[in-house]
Amino acid sequence: MPTCSLCVILAVFAMTDPQVVSIIDHVSPSGTGPDGPLFDETNLKALAAVPSAESKLLAIVEDKDTSADHRFVAAEALLEGSWNGWRSKREDRRAVADVLADALARDPTILLPEIAE
């Protein structure tokens, strides 16, 4: 189980990884439309090609100094991607759930686009 210091190091490393940041920067938190995934296949494949992508995405999710949009996009990447390690740890699941709950509290149409209609 990572210590708090390790989480901080991973968060800093994740945010300095140009591949992860570039991919997240090119994904809109609004998605492509109602009921559509946030990530297209190309972006998910690009993330999957990044070494330690899962831990880097999780570090972004857990980093309170990272923008809410980046945290949301990283949480969505974990959900939409093929990473499963984070699902086995309660604290990791809680971090992802907290980011999704925060996104819903800020903008209910982000997770429930039918509200906007």
pLDDT of residue 71 exceeding 80, the answer is yes
What is the number of structural domains in the chain? 1
* Mean pLDDT, residues 83-103 taken together: 95
Confidence of residue 3 (pLDDT cuts 50, 70, 90): low
pLDDT of residue 4 exceeding 70, the answer is no
Domain extent, residue 82, equals: 4-116
- Higher-confidence residue of 61 and 3: namely 61
Q: What pTM did the predictor assign?
A: 0.78
C-alpha to C-alpha distance for 57 and 71, rounded to whole angstroms = 8
What pLDDT was estimated at residue 28? 86
DSSP code string of 55-110: HHHHHHHH-TTS-HHHHHHHHHHHHHSS--GGGG-HHHHHHHHHHHHHHHHH-TTT
Confidence of residue 94 (pLDDT cuts 50, 70, 90): very high
Question: What are the pLDDT digits (tens) for 7-58?
Answer: 555 555 545 577 888 999 989 887 766 667 889 899 999 999 999 999 999 9
